[in-house]
Amino acid sequence: MELRNRIAEIFDKMKEGLLVFAVLLGFGFFINQGVELKGLYMDDLYLWSCYGEQTFKEFVFPVGSTRFRFIFYLAAWLEMFLLDGQVGLMVPFNIVLNALIAFSIYKISERMSGGRKIVSLLVAAAYLMSRFSYYQIGQFYGLMESLGLWAALGMLYYTWRYATERHSFAFLGANVLYFLASFIHERYMVLVPVLLLGLLFGTRACVRNGAQAVKKAVQEEETGEPDEVSDAEEKAREEIRNSRRSRAQGRSRGAAAGKIGERSTAAKRPARQSERTAAAAGFDIPKWALLLITIAVFALIQIIRLNTIGTLSPAGTGGTDVEDTFVMEEAMEHAWAQVDFVFGKNSGPDYLCVMPYEDSPEEIQELIGKANMVLGLSVAAFIVGCVVEAVKDWRKVFGHLKTLILFLAFIALCIGASSVTIRVEMRWVYVVYAAALILLAYMSSRMHVAAILVPIYVALMFQTETFYRDHWDVLYLWPNQLRYNSLAEETIEKYGEEIFDKQVYIIGNTYEMSEFTAETFLKVYDEDGKGKNTTIKFIDSDLDFKTIRDNAVILWEDAENNAYKDVTEFVKHQRLNYAYGSYEDGWVDEHGKIVLMNGNTDVLKLGCYYPGTITGKQVCQIKVNGKRMPDLVFTDNYMTYEIPSAPYQMISLEFSCNFYVANAKEKRGEENLAMVVTLGAE
């Protein structure tokens, strides 16, 4: 009975979180419907090739490379190991991961907003529907962006916890997440000032030992004799009340005789739990020690980078180096562009931003303007709420000010880290936007009834974000991704494992597929590694072939739709068409026709075989392109017949035989089978 009650209690605690996660997960799949990843190319394909060709140690710890992101490489190795070549599962994997991040944003927002669940759920949904998610959802390398964002937000949250509660373990957690984020993507190294600010802002959470404060609060709750209390005691008492209220439903289960004992146990459990929590909070590591830890973590990161990649300077975008490409004026322009992105105003060329704000439809510009007006009103409502609160206790204003400075510093540093390279990509703004959403949730805690502005903002941005999402296809990576998705469909999806016994040819190469991609693309799907002809070759036209072999797969570039088309059967039909009275195994009826393309020869040779008795009266009239040629008179069972023809000329052959195979067991058409014709006979 006690086990059942314990399970019911655990489920009761988790059911709300599970429901919220289910909602966010469903919304994630809904908002990203239509996004597919079937074929890998560029960075994604290169990463897979490293996974397939390197040892675990070489892949995860690439000493001597331009980048050392061993946390990301470890996660990538694990994902590729689990998916085992199932490229199509990468997008669902990315959606689930992004839903987990959204759930984390929900939990953080719930705590920072003073328990406003609807507001927290809406900002989490706003995170999921953002146009900035194109890379995290649609690319395998999006795993890096997702993990880096997740670790950075976690670091910010735990730093805030320390700044507001002086929770030493929270600050240690922030340092751990800072270390992880720096080796997911090196641009997060710049966030060390956030840790220092949190350390500076940290105020003691308990005037006396946390456990003692809780014990006193428990005693006063039980005796009903409150005394003058410290902030820590008041906080502990409130935590106990909340814990008891949340377990009221669980305590009501069971038989009447068992309720008294259960209530007594349940009443003591939250007290013990709160004692442990406050004891942890009361465990206060001196600031100077935490400062040394932060300095040590930062120094360790630099030492590792220096010993693995040989430099402290981070690599730039597109194979560049920040030291070589950094220009202050351009960096400032990039920074302001990212600020515009956060407020819904895209800037830059289409292939980087979907559509500039100036070129967007008027109704979209109006929605963005209204959304920003709502944000302005939200800030005003927050300020008014803080002023009203300051009238009662002016010291609380400093707490809000610290939070604002901490978040704005985080946002500014993330923007700065993404502005020093040669361009701005929307995926880099995602972490900034997520932090801004959490800050909006925090402000709602002092907006009172004006918190209704948050749902209004999310509703306005939903229409805007979905509009830009519908135009993701103009982004720099999207056309190529569509092409390689199509290539996967026309090869591995269509032919399955048989594709590894075939040779794939592509007519032309206007898509400019690299040699590396041609050699590696199909190997991704070769799970047992035994594929023979797994490369892709390019031809100028199908005329490059004398004959089309059965193991050939011929593709054509459909540039209008950013796709490939399998034209194998069309080419075969064009070059060899058994029009009527003729069959693929060479048999021809008494009257038959074959249309074919001659190879690179000036003579087409036919081999004709009649399996009956030769009497000299077996005669076949032959017409070439409507012109009658000399008759073929059988003097032997096997005869050859030569037809003059220019190379690669279309030839129409018509046969009219005065004989057929007597007593044949098979009859395919209306007439009888007459002979077997071999095209291109030696």
Contacts of 88 (CB under 8 A, 6+ apart): 36, 37, 38
Low-confidence ranges of the chain (pLDDT < 70): 1, 204-283, 315-325, 529-533, 546-547, 682
586-621 residue pLDDT tens: 999 999 999 988 877 889 999 999 999 999 899 999
Overall size of the chain counted in residues? 682
The dihedral through the CA atoms of 267, 269, 270, 274 has a sign that is positive
Residue 320 pLDDT? 62
608 neighbors 675 (Cβ within 8 angstroms): yes
Q: Strand pairing partners for 655?
A: 592, 622
**CA–CA distance, 527 with 492 (Å, rounded to integer):** 12
281-311 residue pLDDT tens: 446 889 999 999 999 999 999 999 999 988 7
Domain borders along the chain are: 16-204+285-317+326-474, 210-251+259-282, 490-566, 575-679
- Rounded to two decimals, the pTM is 0.81
Kindly tell me the burial class for residue 626, based on how many C-beta atoms sit within 10 Å of its own C-beta (0-12, 13-18, 19 or more).
exposed
**CA–CA distance, 627 with 499 (Å, rounded to integer):** 42
In words, the CATH class of domain 575-679 is mainly beta
Q: What is 75-118 written as a DSSP string?
A: HHHHHHHHHTT-GGGHHHHHHHHHHHHHHHHHHHHHHHTTS-HH
